[in-house]
Amino acid sequence: MARQQLIPTRLIPQLPCPYPRISTCQQNSSLTSRLNRLIVQRHHFEWTSFVSQWGRRELGCGHVSSSVKAVLLDESKEKIRLPKVDMWSVHKFGGTCVGTSERIKNVAEVIVNDGSDGKLVVVSAMSKVTDMMYDLIYKAQSRDDSYIAAADAVFEKHRLTATDLLDGEDLASFLAQLHDDVNNLKAMLHAIYIAGHATESFSDFIVGHGELWSAQMLSYVVRKSGLDCKWMDTREVLIVNPTSSNQVDPDFVESEKRLEEWFSRNPCKTIVATGFVASTPQNIPTTLKRDGSDFSAAIMGALLRARQVTIWTDVNGVYSADPRKVSEAVILRTLSYQEAWEMSYFGANVLHPRTIIPVMRYDIPIMIRNIFNLASPGTMICQPSMNVSEDDQKLDSPVKGFATIDNVALVNVEGTGMAGVPGTASAIFSAVKDVGANVIMISQASSEHSVCFAVPEKEVKAVAEVLQSRFRQALDAGRLSQVAIVPNCSILAAVGQKMASTPGVSATLFNALAKASINVRAIAQGCSEYNITVVVKREDCIRALRAVHSRFYLSKTTIAMGIIGPGLIGGTLLDQLRDQAAVLKEEFNIDLRVMGITGSRGMLLSEVGIDLSRWRELMKENGEIADLEKFTHHVHGNHFIPNTVLVDCTADSNVASCYYDWLRKGIHVITPNKKANSGPLDQVTGTLSYIFNNFIGTQSFSEVVAEAKQAGYTEPDPRDDLSGTDVARKVIILARESGLKLELSDIPVQSLVPEPLRASASAEAFMKRLPQFDQDMAKERQKAEDAGDVLRYVGVVDAVRQEGRVELRRYKKDHPFAQLSGSDNIIAFTTTRYKEQPLIVRGPGAGAQVTAGGIFSDILRLASYLGAPS
Ligand code: ADP
Ligand code: ASP
Ligand code: MG
């Protein structure tokens, strides 16, 4: 009989060595050896019994070792035994993996290429199909007869896919089945339409069809490529008990029994099984609930004691954060079961949270792999002791990853009468349970003055109502002050096993949130310390996620920049940024992204960062009309980058007047704008140095001024420089740095603009008339020279007298001030300790490169403040 021929020899794993072997397709060698190592560790206790079992098997007397006792079947019934102990590899293919006929072919190829002795493949419905099925029910119970057309669309989608994939008898038999199924579904939907209501078991029966069809199609395709393959309707095997919380609990003992029975009826080496669907103990079809196919695979893995479960999906593995929300998220090579569970529970939908428990019981590793990128090794989920790799040690961060849950509301039950009263928490949560709401996190301070917890937004109304009514008496008596709801929240969780007993993790986390100006509404951390959960406003969630993600070095310290005023200084700064960006990113982990550049007329905005090698052309090609409000909103409101800085390179007091508002919004401001009177560097500083360093008798005063103007060292109207106000501003800055509280009006300034020219209408008129006053300046200079002195225009801060002034002074030719050249600045500090010889600081004080360099260094200081290595 064919059945007898199959056992035991054909089902014995053909292992080349005593160790079970890993041979998943496209496995990279280091990962393979890691997995083999891992499995060796896992099984070295079993080896003795396995060898003897092996020996006996080769002799044809098929007894199995004690580790697979549950597999033993009653030989008198001549059943075909289901072999276990690492011969099975389980694969699960998600909806996108089987989304089209091409993809189904691709999946079949992956299955064929897996060299394992036994393969069990769990398959989801084609992508979107489960949603379509739920929609059929929704339409029917809303008495919308378009459910008929929608059912036809489901039929058509599968008919077309099958026609692409199959032919001959296979196609005919699949289409006949599909036809029958859809007719039955239509009949059922009609009943729902009449009743205006669908029971849960009707719904579960209907929505599970997507998996029935995809599994059948895939099994035909796999069989066509020559494998001995059967399809399994998992409703015959997987028995689950419904729970009160819209979940199901597998009955492992009963399911294992049924699996063995199924196998004895359908012995084969490759099984294509439906994900998602199951039956109740009364054989009523049910499901494992949304996204439940991962869970199906894990249960099957446990039932078979598989050596590995591979979850195939559309991303390279588990990322440190949802890759749709954090573009810099990195792939995690390994995760512990606990970490994977925490990540999935808190919203990383790459894995269904209940997937972990069944496989963890038998130490079965889970691989998450990308069907569209077979070269990527994926993420391995297993026991933490097994997964310590060099990669992990290098990735020092105690936080493995972050996940978020949106659409959450906080409930806060508050009142002085709660303190020290046993049973309050129990009363609150039993009320919440009674309305079937799921509590996602709980926080209670030890003052016991309030209990705060998060529930899904859609459940909060019922929760509030039940609490109001349950605690009516306490509220009326004032023992409870309120039951408050905070809607529109999100939960952000940081997950990592290394967080346990590592001091400073939460400090770093909250610091990153604070620096991104994110208000934390509630906090929870269990004593296992694997997870820190914070509740934030929903609109802050992505920014919060990005801020904490980048802070833990999982991505660059990213700063969104807006450059205002791309003139001489701003333009030079942009060029400096262009030249330094790559080094900053690679060597210092600082990612500076210029999200916008605005002048007074035009602006350029970018969603991801402007290409600085072409910013001038791009301004011309893609620029739009300047609008400072829109600009600010764009740069700061991108939600992609946690930190924003606006760099004001203008001399515009209107721009400066926005600083207060920006700072309040949490935007950092860096500026050399002297109108703001706070710029750390400004262009003018060196103008008067230049003039007096060059006013040495060879040229007239007006010629030197004209030359400085020509060289771009002066303001468009040189009177702005010669009036001394800018030096006075410098004096103010230095005075304030020294702790003096001086205002500009407190500083006497000796203006170098001749009295009669102060009212000249224009810069040109002023420059034209300036030579008339050369004589006066020449006399001053000559007098000084005759006495062996030079003239220098200086700002003085007198910390003892608490005053400042700006004036033209004479210095001996050997004084450091006399040695200046070009536009250099010089500052002499005369203090108690530097009395005989003042401390001198000297350097270039004007010019676009220097000023832009000063701004650049402030940007780097900001990055270091935000957490970049300095
Ligand atoms: P499947 O249909 O294969 O089961 P899912 O859509 O259920 O796929 O899960 C995969 C998706 O999970 C990915 O496309 C990704 O967008 C999302 N995802 C959310 N968080 C993470 C994360 N931390 N790592 C990887 N993927 C994530
Ligand atoms: N098809 C089911 C769903 O979309 C199960 C799954 O794909 O995991 O929920
Ligand atoms: Mg999924």
- Using H for helix, E for strand and C for coil, what is the string for 368-420? EEECCCCCCCCEEEECHHHCCCHHHHHCCCCCCEEEEEEEEEEEEEECHHHCC
Residue 680: per-residue pLDDT: 37
How confident is the prediction for the chain on average, in pLDDT?
84
Token reading at 284: 């009523």
Compute how many other C-beta atoms are within 10 angstroms of the C-beta atom of residue 275. 31
Judged against a pLDDT cut of 50, whether residue 590 lies above it is answered with yes
Whether 96 lines ligand 1, by a CB cut-off of 6 Å, is yes
Residue 363: per-residue pLDDT: 94
Residue 396: per-residue pLDDT: 61
Counting from 1 in the atom list of ligand 2, the atom nearest the Cα of 288 is 5
Can the peptide bond before residue 377 be classed as cis, meaning omega within 30 degrees of 0?
A: no
Across 565-623, the runs of DSSP E, i.e. the strands, are 590-598, 602-605
Judged against a pLDDT cut of 50, whether residue 821 lies above it is answered with yes
The pTM is what? Answer: 0.69
Distance 314 CA to ligand 3 centre (A): 10
Whether 291 lines ligand 1, by a CB cut-off of 6 Å, is yes
Which of 296, 349, 372, 405 for mutating ligand 1's site (highest number of atoms within 8 Å of CB)? 349
Mean pLDDT of 329-335: 92
In sequence order, the β-bridge partners of residue 221 are: none
**Minimum mean pLDDT among 66-80, 163-177, 533-547: which range?**
66-80
Judged against a pLDDT cut of 50, whether residue 572 lies above it is answered with yes
Q: Whose CA is nearest to atom 25 of ligand 1?
A: 318
Distance, CA of 656 to CA of 428 (rounded, Å): 52
Distance, CA of 229 to CA of 544 (rounded, Å): 48
The band of 139, judged by pLDDT with boundaries at 50, 70 and 90, is very high
Using alpha carbons, select from 376, 370, 344 the residue that is nearest to residue 357.
344
Residue position matching structure tokens 């007298």: 801
Distance 517 CA to ligand 3 centre (A): 34
Distance, CA of 687 to CA of 670 (rounded, Å): 22
In sequence order, the β-bridge partners of residue 790 are: 811
Counting from 1 in the atom list of ligand 2, the atom nearest the Cα of 210 is 1
Whether 279 lines ligand 1, by a CB cut-off of 6 Å, is no
Distance, CA of 146 to CA of 350 (rounded, Å): 33
Residue position matching structure tokens 């079961």: 337
Residue position matching structure tokens 């749709």: 324
Distance 349 CA to ligand 2 centre (A): 11
Distance, CA of 86 to CA of 15 (rounded, Å): 10
Most confident of 155-169, 338-352, 672-686, 843-857: 155-169
Report phi then psi at 328, rounded to 5: -90, 5
Using alpha carbons, select from 240, 243, 214 the residue that is nearest to residue 94.
214
Q: Which ligand is nearest to the CA of 126?
A: 2
The band of 553, judged by pLDDT with boundaries at 50, 70 and 90, is low
The band of 692, judged by pLDDT with boundaries at 50, 70 and 90, is confident
Distance 243 CA to ligand 2 centre (A): 19
Q: Are 31 and 380 in contact (CB under 8 A)?
A: yes
Whether 93 lines ligand 1, by a CB cut-off of 6 Å, is no
Counting from 1 in the atom list of ligand 1, the atom nearest the Cα of 343 is 23
The band of 500, judged by pLDDT with boundaries at 50, 70 and 90, is confident
Better pLDDT: 326 or 40: 326
Distance 133 CA to ligand 2 centre (A): 11
Q: Whose CA is nearest to atom 5 of ligand 2?
A: 291
Whether 614 lines ligand 1, by a CB cut-off of 6 Å, is no
* DSSP string for residues in 674-700: GGGT--SS-SGGGHHHHHHHH-SSSS-
**Minimum mean pLDDT among 2-6, 149-153, 444-448, 795-799: which range?**
2-6
Mean pLDDT of 358-371: 96
Name the strand (E) or helix (H) holding 26. Answer: none
Judged against a pLDDT cut of 80, whether residue 686 lies above it is answered with no
Distance 578 CA to ligand 1 centre (A): 35
Whether 349 lines ligand 1, by a CB cut-off of 6 Å, is yes
Judged against a pLDDT cut of 50, whether residue 597 lies above it is answered with yes
Percent of the chain with pLDDT over 70: 86
Mean pLDDT of 592-604: 94
Whether 672 lines ligand 1, by a CB cut-off of 6 Å, is no
Distance 593 CA to ligand 3 centre (A): 34
In sequence order, the β-bridge partners of residue 524 are: 533
Using alpha carbons, select from 176, 181, 173 the residue that is nearest to residue 211.
181
Counting from 1 in the atom list of ligand 2, the atom nearest the Cα of 131 is 4
Q: Are 229 and 215 in contact (CB under 8 A)?
A: no
Counting from 1 in the atom list of ligand 1, the atom nearest the Cα of 317 is 25
- Helices 848-865 and 568-588: crossing angle, nearest 10°? 40
Residues with CB under 6 A from ligand 2: 94-95, 124-125, 130, 210, 275-276, 290-293
| DSSP character at residue 68 | G
Distance, CA of 349 to CA of 319 (rounded, Å): 11
Residues with catalytic function: 730
Q: Are 309 and 367 in contact (CB under 8 A)?
A: yes
Judged against a pLDDT cut of 90, whether residue 54 lies above it is answered with no
DSSP3 helix / strand / coil % (the chain, rounded to 5): 45, 20, 35
In sequence order, the β-bridge partners of residue 811 are: 790
Better pLDDT: 233 or 416: 233
Whether 348 lines ligand 1, by a CB cut-off of 6 Å, is yes
Mean pLDDT of 812-839: 83
Residue 243: per-residue pLDDT: 86
Whether 554 lines ligand 1, by a CB cut-off of 6 Å, is no
- Helices 129-141 and 168-195: crossing angle, nearest 10°? 30
- The residue type at 728: A
Mean pLDDT of 78-103: 89
Counting from 1 in the atom list of ligand 1, the atom nearest the Cα of 294 is 4
Q: In terms of C-beta density within 10 A (0-12 exposed, 13-18 middle, 19 or more buried), how is residue 394 classed?
A: exposed
Whether 313 lines ligand 1, by a CB cut-off of 6 Å, is yes
Residue 555: per-residue pLDDT: 54
Distance 314 CA to ligand 2 centre (A): 14
Q: Whose CA is nearest to atom 2 of ligand 2?
A: 291
CA angle 640, 493, 313 (to 5 degrees): 75
Percent of the chain with pLDDT over 90: 52
Whether 406 lines ligand 1, by a CB cut-off of 6 Å, is no
Whether 324 lines ligand 1, by a CB cut-off of 6 Å, is yes
Counting from 1 in the atom list of ligand 1, the atom nearest the Cα of 352 is 7
Strand pairing category for 789-798 and 520-525: unpaired
Across 659-788, the runs of DSSP E, i.e. the strands, are 668-670
pLDDT, tens digit (0-9, with 9 covering 90-100), for 720-773? 888 888 788 888 888 887 888 888 888 899 998 988 888 888 888 899 889 988
Q: Which ligand is nearest to the CA of 207?
A: 2
Distance, CA of 133 to CA of 139 (rounded, Å): 10
Which of 123, 135, 291 for mutating ligand 2's site (highest number of atoms within 8 Å of CB)? 291
